Amino acid sequence: MAELTAIGKSVRQKDGRARVTGEAKYYADFILPGMLQIRILRSPLPAATILSMDTAEAEAYPGVHLVMTHLNFPKAFRKELYYVGDLVAAVVADDETIAEEAMHLIKVEYEKKKPILNMDDAMKDGARQVFDGVDNIQDWPFHAFLSDKDPETGLYKTKTPSDYNGFGDIEKGFAEADYIIEQNHLKYAYCKSPAMEPRGCSADFDGNRLQVYTHSQGMHDEKLCLAQALGIPSSMVNYNAPYTGSSFGGKNAFPLDPNIASHYLVVAGFACLELRKPVHCPYSREEEMVSGWSRGSDTYVKIGFKKDGTLTTMDMIHRQETGAGGDKYPAKNAMLATGAVLYSHNCRHLRGKIQNVNTNRYPAAGWQGYGAPEGMFAVETTMDMAAYELGIDPVELRKMNCMRAGDIDAGWDPLSYISAIISSSGIRDCLDAGAEALDWKNTWRHPSEKTGRIRHGMGVAIFAMGAGRPGPGNSSEAMVKIYPDGSAALVCAVADIGQGQHTVQCQIVAEVLGLPYKKVGMVCHDTDSTPFATLVSNSCGTWIQGWATYEAALDAKQRLLKLAAAHMGVKAEELDMNEKGIFMTAAPDKGCTFAEAFGTRGHYGGLHEVTGYYVNNSPHPHGIHNGKPDEIYIPKEKGAQFISLDVDTETGMILNARVTMAQNVGKALNPKIVAGQLCTSRHGVDNAMLGNECVADKRNGWLMTANWVDYRHCTAMDCDVDPIVIEKPGDPTHPFGATACGEGAACPTLAAFSNAIYNAIGVRIIETPYTPERILRGLGKIEDKRRKK
């Protein structure tokens, strides 16, 4: 490949200027004239039925325009309430104080039900059903057994529905194993899927179009759902989401599902259509805190090894809390941690069962990794136990067994393919790089050698995460326009939620067109102005949107070169372009200007823009092996994370935590963006050492941690992250050899932390968060005999 000019450079953030001047308009910054304020009355009970409501006083309150309940807006509110904070009613008023005052005038009579406030209670025999008629525990409905392995490619040819995911024969596998390591009740606490900007929206209806202003991870998906939820044609809705104040999966809105935390859209939508006035429905932090939780799992893992450390067999049962509904299957990515992907190199027998469990806690949402961090937590702590038991260095044990390029992804996402070829790995490089950074070989000590009050520990965990998914629905489009002045615009709907997609996509355009990055503009404001893009989840932007952008830019370029060829009387194949114009590849001093190619003379005559377009229905042809559509490549995020920390054995506090995060990204399209993504490992740190979990009062279901004082996120002072970006081997499925980078960073942290704590003090904690309480208990330093849990 010729030398890259835009790719691989830390160019400035495309919309950075607006972000640092305060000009960037996030949804709440659209302050529309005459905008009414919506406030939501929320359930005080975790499980109840509304028997009666009296809204007369609230409706009569001066300044109130509308009171919404399940009686007048049955599509927005329910009679049944499933968690504390569930929606009871909404008041639309002249201002927020009036709305709040009126809200307190609504009288509601409830019938209480016995709440189910933890997974254990939900799974008990005879437990009350959270949702009438639905079992509290549900199997992942797409479990499949793979068989019929093609000896040449290693791909499976047959997929049979089953009650678990897997292959081989685990009975046989364990019978033949020399070592079996088993752990049960590995518990990753239910944690808040975070975002800096709390969710909410505004809406405005002019009798013709409904303008919605909000944040988004995929504005087209969300718009289609919203229109359907409101019962109006999609063409009536324009979804404006120019800036999103971060989202890590949690703000994916799906207004069609009454259980998911995107009620603000439906409430504001109906209010606006009814009143024909602009309305604003912002969630306070407290309301945000009862919307969109994640993690929350209870996992069983059993792994069989040969004497030399070869991992042959794996069994996993993974149960995941989904609270009062919400995102249905956040758990399936836990399979990524198993022999299906992460340990696919040697694993010959696998059984993995995924279940989700409903409770009367706050509805689940996706979050960075979407089940993968929970799976990695369970498997990677178990691998660590194995390393100690087998007497093999934890880094070496992983190097022996981790996935490599060419291994088979067997069922991470069995919806869209049977099995697929893992296109690149590099985990072993990441392990080496991290170990070297920490001088692991010389400084690693067995816990039995540690003495003194403050004990140092180091732990490692590896991970694999999706990087875009091939298959139906995962498509994105792009339009690239070249103008006669030699600038270009990328028109697409890929969401930039902080992960840098707008910047990177423009870099791709600049690279393909040979233009300076500065001359590429981005149009990504609303659904009216952009073609469809799938939501940014599974860290797919670089891969799915990336291909669309790349191909659209190529298409635009070809069209322009054709115009120039006609003008110059040569063949388009002989031409190329750069900032100055179009030139002959063989004789770069011969060529024409953009204006000449377009044939424009001011505003008269000629063309004014050339447009390239592409729709990437993944997998892109490059993601297919040997041109056979049933042999597809699948890229992954992957790498290794090391935690170094000290434990104060007298207070139980973790001190001096430091994360070394090594990830092979294939190609860092923008090194600073990539480094920034790796630093999101701190989300794991939040969950590991800041005591975060969903504390719901065990009798009343109140969320005790409904604010950022009682629920903590790292400040700049709490933990350092050293990102190590590895760029080999380039991934064959991407035009620039990149894979993805985003969700991976949060996947290995909880395991690496637990492993580091074990390494420091010889106490293995398999329940998050790693509180001083758990550490001191492990050390035998809590005397109170009354305590039980």
Partner 1 sequence: MRRFNHFNASTMENAVSLLNESEGPAYVIAGGSDLMGCLKDNLWIEAPERVVNLKTIPGLKYILVEDGDLHLGALATLTEIAESDTVKLQWPGLAEAARRTASPLLRNMGTIAGNICQENRCWYFRYPDKIGGRIDCVRKGGKRCLAVPGDHRFHSIFGAVNKCIAVNPSDTAPALVVLDATVKTTKREIPIDEFFTAEMGAQSTVLDRDEIVTEIVVPAPQAGPNSAFRKIAYRKSIDFALVNCAAALVIRDGKVESARICLNAVYNNPRRCEASEELLKGRELTEELAQEAGRLAVAEAKPLLQNGFKVQMAKTIVSDTLMDCI
Partner 2 sequence: MNENRKQLIHLTVNGEVQSVAVESHWTLSRVLRNDCGHTGLKEACGEGACGACTVLIDGVAVPSCMVLAVEQEGKSIETVEGLSKNGVLHPIQEAWLEEYGAQCGFCSPGMIMSTKALLAKNPDPTEDEIKEALGGNICICNNYEHIINAVRSAAKKMREKA
Among 101, 197, 298, 646, binds partner 1 (CB under 8 A): 101
The reply to whether 715 sits near partner 2 by the rule CB under 8 A is yes
Q: Tell me the two tokens of residue 124.
A: 């008990």
Please say which residue, 108 or 643, places its beta carbon nearer to partner 2. 643
Please say which residue, 217 or 338, places its beta carbon nearer to partner 2. 217
Stretch that binds partner 2, among 188-196, 369-377, 437-445, 540-548 (CB under 8 A): 188-196
Please say which residue, 105 or 640, places its beta carbon nearer to partner 1. 105
Among 717, 780, 786, 789, binds partner 2 (CB under 8 A): 717
Stretch that binds partner 1, among 7-15, 600-608, 630-638, 689-697 (CB under 8 A): 689-697
Residue 702 contact among partner 2, partner 1, ligand FES, none, beta carbon within 5 to 8 Å by kind = partner 1
Quote the least distance from Cβ 642 to ligand FES, whole Å: 25
Stretch that binds partner 2, among 26-34, 232-240, 337-345, 520-528 (CB under 8 A): 26-34
Task: Give the span between the Cα atoms of 406 and 633, in whole angstroms.
Answer: 9
Please say which residue, 79 or 404, places its beta carbon nearer to partner 1. 79
Per DSSP, the three-state class of 109 is strand
For residue 351, the surrounding DSSP H or E stretch is strand 349-358
User: How much is the CA Rg of the chain, to the nearest whole Å?
Assistant: 27
Outline where 592-737 has alpha helix (H).
Answer: 594-598, 671-678, 682-689
The reply to whether 246 sits near ligand FES by the rule CB under 6 A is yes
Task: Give me the DSSP letters along 180-245.
Answer: EEEEEEEEEEEEE---SSPPEEEEEE-SS-EEEEE--S-HHHHHHHHHHHHTS-GGGEEEE-S--S
Instruction: Show Cβ contacts of residue 28 under 8 Å, excluding neighbours closer than 6 positions.
Output: 197, 200, 202, 280, 282
Of the candidates 545, 209, 216, 87, which has an alpha carbon nearest to the alpha carbon of residue 225? 216
The reply to whether 62 sits near partner 2 by the rule CB under 8 A is yes
Q: SS3 for 13-51, per residue?
A: CCCHHHHHHCCCCCHHHCCCCCCEEEEEEECCCCCEEEE
The reply to whether 498 sits near ligand FES by the rule CB under 6 A is yes
Among 134, 196, 415, 586, binds ligand FES (CB under 6 A): 196
Residue 650 contact among ligand FES, partner 2, partner 1, none, beta carbon within 5 to 8 Å by kind = partner 1
Stretch that binds partner 2, among 203-211, 374-382, 495-503, 538-546 (CB under 8 A): 495-503
Give the strand order in the sheet containing 200-205.
Answer: 64-68, 87-93, 36-42, 279-282, 200-205, 210-214, 237-240
Q: Tell me the two tokens of residue 158.
A: 């047959």
The reply to whether 499 sits near partner 2 by the rule CB under 8 A is yes
Among 52, 97, 184, 585, binds partner 1 (CB under 8 A): 97
Q: Which residue has the tokens 């013709």?
A: 208
Residue 23 contact among ligand FES, partner 1, partner 2, none, beta carbon within 5 to 8 Å by kind = partner 2
Residue 315: exposed, middle, or buried by beta-carbon count in 10 A (0-12, 13-18, 19+)?
buried
Among positions 340-369, residues that touch partner 1 (CB under 8 A) are none
Site string for partner 2, 84-123 (x = CB under 8 A): ----------xx-x--------------------------
Q: Tell me the two tokens of residue 419.
A: 């099995």
Task: Give the span between the Cα atoms of 200 and 202, in whole angstroms.
Answer: 7
Contact by Cβ (8 Å): 129, 116 = no
Quote the least distance from Cβ 727 to partner 2, whole Å: 18
The reply to whether 194 sits near partner 2 by the rule CB under 8 A is yes
- At residue 360, what is the residue type? N
Among positions 614-653, residues that touch partner 1 (CB under 8 A) are 648, 650-653
Instruction: Show Cβ contacts of residue 441 under 8 Å, excluding neighbours closer than 6 positions.
Output: 435
Residue 773 contact among partner 2, ligand FES, partner 1, none, beta carbon within 5 to 8 Å by kind = partner 1
Among 5, 9, 16, 169, binds partner 2 (CB under 8 A): 16
Give the strand order in the sheet containing 80-81.
Answer: 80-81, 48-54, 107-112
Residue 45 contact among partner 1, partner 2, ligand FES, none, beta carbon within 5 to 8 Å by kind = partner 1
Paired with 463 in beta bridges are 639
Q: Tell me the two tokens of residue 112.
A: 């209480």
Among 169, 286, 393, 631, binds partner 1 (CB under 8 A): 286
CA angle at 103 for the pair 102 and 104, rounded to the nearest 5°: 90
Please say which residue, 407 or 686, places its beta carbon nearer to partner 2. 686
Q: Tell me the two tokens of residue 521.
A: 């503009």
Task: Give the span between the Cα atoms of 387 and 380, in whole angstroms.
Answer: 10
Quote the least distance from Cβ 284 to partner 2, whole Å: 6
Please say which residue, 244 or 360, places its beta carbon nearer to partner 2. 244
Task: Give the span between the Cα atoms of 520 and 645, in whole angstroms.
Answer: 45
Residue 675 contact among partner 1, ligand FES, partner 2, none, beta carbon within 5 to 8 Å by kind = partner 2
Per DSSP, the three-state class of 757 is helix
Among positions 264-323, residues that touch partner 2 (CB under 8 A) are 284-285
Contact by Cβ (8 Å): 425, 663 = no
Quote the least distance from Cβ 284 to partner 1, whole Å: 5
Quote the least distance from Cβ 101 to partner 2, whole Å: 11
Site string for partner 2, 719-738 (x = CB under 8 A): -xx-x---------------
Contact by Cβ (8 Å): 335, 403 = no
Stretch that binds partner 2, among 397-405, 407-415, 646-654, 713-721 (CB under 8 A): 713-721
The reply to whether 290 sits near partner 1 by the rule CB under 8 A is yes
The reply to whether 702 sits near partner 1 by the rule CB under 8 A is yes
Per DSSP, the three-state class of 89 is strand
Among positions 736-775, residues that touch partner 1 (CB under 8 A) are 771-773
Contact by Cβ (8 Å): 735, 744 = no
Per DSSP, the three-state class of 671 is helix
Among 307, 601, 603, 786, binds partner 1 (CB under 8 A): 786
Residue 518 contact among ligand FES, partner 2, partner 1, none, beta carbon within 5 to 8 Å by kind = none
The reply to whether 243 sits near partner 2 by the rule CB under 8 A is yes
Task: Give the span between the Cα atoms of 97 and 253, in whole angstroms.
Answer: 27
Please say which residue, 90 or 508, places its beta carbon nearer to partner 1. 90
Instruction: Show Cβ contacts of residue 152 under 8 Å, excluding neighbours closer than 6 positions.
Output: none
Please say which residue, 338 or 503, places its beta carbon nearer to partner 2. 503
For residue 312, the surrounding DSSP H or E stretch is strand 311-323
Please say which residue, 86 or 511, places its beta carbon nearer to partner 1. 86
Using CB under 8 A, count the residues that bind partner 2.
57
The reply to whether 518 sits near partner 2 by the rule CB under 8 A is no
- Angle at which helices 372-390 and 749-761 cross, to 10°: 30
The reply to whether 741 sits near partner 2 by the rule CB under 8 A is no
The reply to whether 184 sits near partner 2 by the rule CB under 8 A is no
Residue 124's alpha-carbon distances to 135, 136, 185, 326, in angstroms, are 11, 9, 15, 22
Task: Give the span between the Cα atoms of 372 and 335, in whole angstroms.
Answer: 7
- At residue 522, what is the residue type? M
Binding site for ligand FES (CB under 6 A): 196, 246, 498
Question: Applying CB under 8 A, which residues contact partner 1?
Answer: 42-45, 84-85, 97, 100-101, 284, 286-287, 289-290, 648, 650-653, 689-691, 695, 697-700, 702-710, 712, 714-715, 717-718, 771-773, 776-777, 781-784, 786-789
Residues lying near partner 2 in the complex (CB under 8 A): 10, 12-13, 16-26, 28-29, 31, 62-63, 94-95, 97, 194-198, 243-246, 284-285, 497-500, 672-673, 675-676, 679-683, 707-709, 713-717, 720-721, 723
